[in-house]
Structure 1
Amino acid sequence: MKIWYTPIIATVFFAVFSCNSKADKKEENSIKTVEKVPELKLTIDSIRIAKFYENYPKLDKFKNDVISLYQKNKSTQLWQDNKGIVEFANTLFNQYKNMDQEGLKANYPYNEQLNSVFDNNANTKLSKEDTDLLLSNLYYYYGEKVGGFDEKTVVSLEWLLPRKKLNYQVFSDSIFKKSTILDDKKRKMFSQYYKLRDALKEYREIEKNGGWKTIETGEDYKSLKVGDSSAVVAQIRERLFVTKDIQEDNKSAICDTTLIKAMKNYELRHGYTAKNTILLEHINDLNIPVSDRIKTIIVNMERCRWIDPELEKGQKYIEVNIPEFRLYIVEDGKIAFISPVVVGRAMTKTVIFSGMMSNIVFSPYWNVPPSIIKSEIKPGMAKDKNYLQKKNLEWNNGAVRQLPGKNNSLGLVKFLFPNSSNIYLHDTPSKSLFERESRAFSHGCVRVAKPRELAIELLKVDPQWNPERIDKAMHAGKESWYTLKKKVPVYIGYFTAWVDRQGNLNFYKDIYGRDESMIKLLTEE
């Protein structure tokens, strides 16, 4: 097909081309006349840095890192160029201003001066050098906050699990790469942290919308069951609707199966045994203000900052959450085993730490700790000369031990992961304790409700140890040891808020009273 160019088309084409050519030449000439802005090059040496910390002493703890940082950058600026503040600095400032989303308080010591840097309407009195130094210190301040309390503080809070450590060399170098702590994809955290952060957002939205009303009950309130009619029922229904434990608030004052089912779901998420009645203790739990729940979430986000995310990469490990009174085996990222546990009472707290399980001891002796000999056994012997025999105890090289058997305090099997606190997992003859909602009764060790099943789970990799052989060893009445072919990591933690694998937010009672002191540390100026 031929294309015919008429004189009109040719004229238009020529005109457009001519105009564009003229425009291009005009633009080219205008570019040539624009003055080039000189490159910004500030001198920020050790003398300048020392002067800065004289004026800003509250930032002094970052001094050595900042000096090293600028030495790597040939004593020149990091956060500014000839156009002003670089984009990465704005990103840092925005992250700092949104620290509340991370459950942290944005209380940079020189907040007023910092704000003036980013307030376009303000005439900042800061020099360019001090501006740069202020931002470098903000970077370290932010990194310190999102990294969690320092190691000394964590240890003082009796947390001895492996700590996520901030590599300050890599941290400093990341400024030049404009990455790491400001990038959620690169700032790897313990996975539970992100789940709690989402929960924090959700509960703050609830708080923003007015939270939930206090459920009013009379002094004669005892319980509610299916079929009961009461004004309290409508209040409970409204309260459960706020936290999505019930899908619809029909305003009914009659307790029906839908309400009881929703309440059971709530009870399970808050550390209770699901019941067919709504007790006063459940009402009291429902009445805990949303502001308190938010504090609990924030505290547990901080605990997550201390956890090295590498711990989750293990093919198989055991985790115990003390306030939850549960033990889990996690294998390839999935829960392979669950058992209720009994933990230490308030006076003999179970230690928060980790170890490597190496041995299973069947039909164990119980070597009685000196503290128990002093507080229980000697007073018992003073009252009854047959005390040792009745308790199946014997002297053993100046110490006391309990003979193997079904009445042994360690039960029929124990699981060892050597540690300085002499903590281990074990069976117990006191089975009734596992039926209680609060299970803090031990001297510090962790009693397992399903010890036989735990042994089977741990030994399934060894075909020679089938359930029949395990049963025989547990009831042999003679102590025998098995060394695991591959040691299994054990992590004993303390979380009063936890999002489970189904996405449900769970709250547990702070049985050791650890949350309040952490809230004070997180909110102090």
Structure 2
Amino acid sequence: MKRLSFFVLSIVFGTLGLSFVSWSCNKKETNTIVSRELSSKKTYLYEDVPFDSTKVASFFVKYPKLLTFQKSIVALYKNRQYHYAWFDKKGVNEAAEMLYNKMSTVQEEGIQKNFPYKTDLDVIFQNSKTYLSPNLDAELLLSSLYFFYAKNVLTGVDEEATKKIGWYLPRKKLSYVSYLDSIIAKPELLAKDDKVVLGQYYKLKEILKKYRLSEQKGGWNPIRVAPDFKSIKPGDSSQTVSDIRTRLFATNDIASDNKSKVYDTDLVKGVVKYKKRNGFKEDEVITQKHIDEMNVPVGERIKTIIVNMERCRWISEEFLQDSEYIVVNIPSFKLTYVKNNRPEFKCNVVVGAMMTKTVIFSGKMSYIVFSPYWNLPTSIINKDVKPGMKKNKNYLVQHNMEWNNGNVRQKPGPNNSLGRVKFIFPNSNNIYLHDTPSKSLFNEESRAFSHGCIRVGKPKELAYAILKDDKNWPTDKIDAAMNKTVETTYSLKRKIPVIIGYFTAWVDDEGTINFYKDIYERDNRLSSILVEEE
């Protein structure tokens, strides 16, 4: 498969703002990245000088705070037959220097903690002439630093911790023992390797620099409003308008700040741009909710960026390989179908409400059901249907329902709760994509209303896109299948990956940061975990 381009993911989650109606809505594969494009014969930069393997244990007695890396280090040097990794015939090698420099600026990665023996590392690089020949303590310190970097920058918090906060997308399974060969052969990978870390991570990192610089300069001042404030429309004039102009200039939503108090054409463009990248309807009227969003301090935006950088660390490399997939970013209420590494189709979606959250996971779309039945869950039968039948003997007929093997199902039709089509990717959560007769909800800014499944704003168009190259399913046949009184199931010739993700900050392909509401209140929980680990 072709590797998923960074360009596509930027568009996907950017326009998802990536960003993943019924009670029926409700692999642990180990992928290993090994050394890339290296000779099949192992070579070592200091291959003539193996060291005494028995001395590894005594190193950890001297440096007990590094014990967590002992298992990895033993595996590393067994793999290298106890040859040095960080020294060549000129002394400390380029990869070691780049790793040291990288960790000296680790805060740029959204990481607050430091290597516990940084002073000892400083000695190595400040007295480089002392280390022209291999030194075992220096060697093992550098390997410990490498695994410290791998854990914190490349991997992120433990998988069990992410499951506790509702993240069930497959986590990265990267062999850092093998990956070190790639680092030594190509040290610049330490600066950027979007085959290992989602490319979006590096864009967020650049935005983090800008927002921290803004914070150092004092951030932005709160926008003041009058006690009787209701809204601002084009042409209005007030000090609040001037404050908004200054605020939007600080985040590059407008090119200049002329301090004008008049809500003019230039400011209108800036307001619309601001609304677009913050998940609001793109109209010209400014209300209190927009002011409140603008008043979110820069420090809070920095926290949001950092937690989304952390989420980027978790993305499995298998998601960097597919050229065709469907992705939903829950906070942005958007779906994008990508084909041949290009966005083929996009639309709004409705996701699970707070009490019936849509699960963050992935699956493979296997079939499409046209004119589906809706099999009612037992809870609804007991709560609504049976009481309704007691009051009205025609209850089932009036709701287009029928008994089916002791259960109740709603028959196909325009008022069926699943609409006229559903898209199935088998999973234990019983979540799928489907149509709905409740079309008005797609016009809402916040679209968290379902019982867990994902309602698609343009289901017919999605079916057209998926079956575009299938000669057996021209558009007229799709239309007919969606308007029958009997269910039709079609198994796809190719299974399509479906990714349901959760990103509250995403940088689009133009380099613009987009923020979305943390509708399931996950950001603060993740931020707390990151602080605890530090």
Q: Cα distance, 1:206 vs. partner?
A: 2.2
Identity level (%): 52
1:63-117 CA-partner distances (Å, limit 9, x unpaired): 1221233344554654357876444322211111112222222422333444444
DSSP-derived class of the 1:462 partner: coil
Contact 1:341 1:448 in 2 (8 A): yes
Q: Which moved more, 1:466-475 or 1:174-183?
A: 174-183
Structure 1: unaligned runs, 5 residues or longer: 1-38
CA distance in 2 between partners of 1:241 and 1:71 (Å): 56
Aligned to 2:491: 483
Q: Which moved more, 1:462-471 or 1:179-188?
A: 179-188
CA distance in 2 between partners of 1:425 and 1:279 (Å): 34
> Which of 18, 34, 59 is the aligned partner of 2:66?
59
> Which of 146, 154, 159 is the aligned partner of 1:147?
154
Indicate yes or no: 2:450 matched with 1:468: no
Residues 387 and 99 of structure 1: CA distance in aligned 2, closer, same or farther (over 3 Å):
farther
Contact 2:150 2:176 in 1 (8 A): no
> Which of 281, 287, 293 is the aligned partner of 2:301?
293
2:64 is matched by which residue type in structure 1?
Answer: P
Aligned to 1:224: 232
Contact 2:374 2:416 in 1 (8 A): yes
Indicate yes or no: 2:117 matched with 1:110: yes
Aligned to 2:173: 165
Indicate yes or no: 2:358 matched with 1:347: no
1:202-251 CA-partner distances (Å, limit 9, x unpaired): 22232233221110112211100012111100000011111111112111
Contact 1:181 1:187 in 2 (8 A): no
Contact 1:143 1:181 in 2 (8 A): no
Q: Which moved more, 1:290-299 or 1:47-56?
A: 47-56
DSSP-derived class of the 1:54 partner: helix
Residues 402 and 117 of structure 1: CA distance in aligned 2, closer, same or farther (over 3 Å):
same
Contact 1:364 1:479 in 2 (8 A): yes
DSSP-derived class of the 2:415 partner: coil
Aligned to 2:32: none
CA distance in 1 between partners of 2:124 and 2:141 (Å): 9
Q: Cα distance, 1:475 vs. partner?
A: 1.3
CA distance in 2 between partners of 1:333 and 1:41 (Å): 46
CA distance in 2 between partners of 1:388 and 1:56 (Å): 73
The answer to which structure, 1 or 2, has the higher relative contact order (CA under 8 A, 6+ apart) is 2
Please show how residues 124-273 of structure 1 align to structure 2 within 5 Å: 128-148=135-155, 149-174=157-182, 177=185, 179=187, 181-185=189-193, 188-273=196-281
Q: Cα distance, 1:281 vs. partner?
A: 0.2
Q: Which moved more, 1:67-76 or 1:270-279?
A: 67-76
CA distance in 2 between partners of 1:199 and 1:108 (Å): 25
Contact 1:237 1:249 in 2 (8 A): yes
Aligned to 2:517: 509
Aligned to 2:421: 413
Give the TM-score normalised by structure 2: 0.83
Aligned to 2:464: 456
CA distance in 2 between partners of 1:413 and 1:285 (Å): 37
Contact 1:414 1:424 in 2 (8 A): yes
DSSP-derived class of the 1:319 partner: strand
Contact 2:102 2:191 in 1 (8 A): no
Please show how residues 340-379 of structure 1 align to structure 2 within 5 Å: 340-374=348-382, 376-377=384-385
Aligned to 1:48: 55
DSSP-derived class of the 1:352 partner: coil
1:134 is matched by which residue type in structure 2?
Answer: L
1:430 is matched by which residue type in structure 2?
Answer: S
Q: Cα distance, 1:372 vs. partner?
A: 3.9
Contact 1:366 1:402 in 2 (8 A): yes
Residues 376 and 55 of structure 1: CA distance in aligned 2, closer, same or farther (over 3 Å):
farther
1:399-458 CA-partner distances (Å, limit 9, x unpaired): 222111111110111011111111100001111111110010101000001011111111
Structure 2: unaligned runs, 5 residues or longer: 1-45
Residues 120 and 264 of structure 1: CA distance in aligned 2, closer, same or farther (over 3 Å):
same
Q: Cα distance, 1:384 vs. partner?
A: 5.7
Aligned to 2:454: 446
Q: Which moved more, 1:375-384 or 1:190-199?
A: 375-384
Residues 158 and 180 of structure 1: CA distance in aligned 2, closer, same or farther (over 3 Å):
farther
1:369-393 CA-partner distances (Å, limit 9, x unpaired): 3344455545655666654444333
Contact 1:45 1:71 in 2 (8 A): no
1:143 is matched by which residue type in structure 2?
Answer: A
Residues 120 and 374 of structure 1: CA distance in aligned 2, closer, same or farther (over 3 Å):
farther
Aligned to 1:33: none
Residues 86 and 481 of structure 1: CA distance in aligned 2, closer, same or farther (over 3 Å):
closer
Residues 471 and 71 of structure 1: CA distance in aligned 2, closer, same or farther (over 3 Å):
closer
2:477 is matched by which residue type in structure 1?
Answer: R
1:325 is matched by which residue type in structure 2?
Answer: F
> Which of 322, 325, 333 is the aligned partner of 2:330?
322
Contact 1:200 1:294 in 2 (8 A): yes
2:65 is matched by which residue type in structure 1?
Answer: K
Contact 1:341 1:434 in 2 (8 A): yes
Aligned to 2:99: 92
Aligned to 1:306: 314
Q: Cα distance, 1:516 vs. partner?
A: 1.0
Contact 2:94 2:187 in 1 (8 A): no
DSSP-derived class of the 1:429 partner: coil
Residues 511 and 374 of structure 1: CA distance in aligned 2, closer, same or farther (over 3 Å):
farther
Q: Which moved more, 1:131-140 or 1:163-172?
A: 163-172
Q: Cα distance, 1:278 vs. partner?
A: 0.3
Q: Cα distance, 1:357 vs. partner?
A: 1.1
CA distance in 2 between partners of 1:505 and 1:130 (Å): 44
1:228 is matched by which residue type in structure 2?
Answer: D
RMSD of the TM alignment (CA)?
2.8
1:306 is matched by which residue type in structure 2?
Answer: W
Contact 1:42 1:129 in 2 (8 A): no
CA distance in 1 between partners of 2:476 and 2:363 (Å): 29
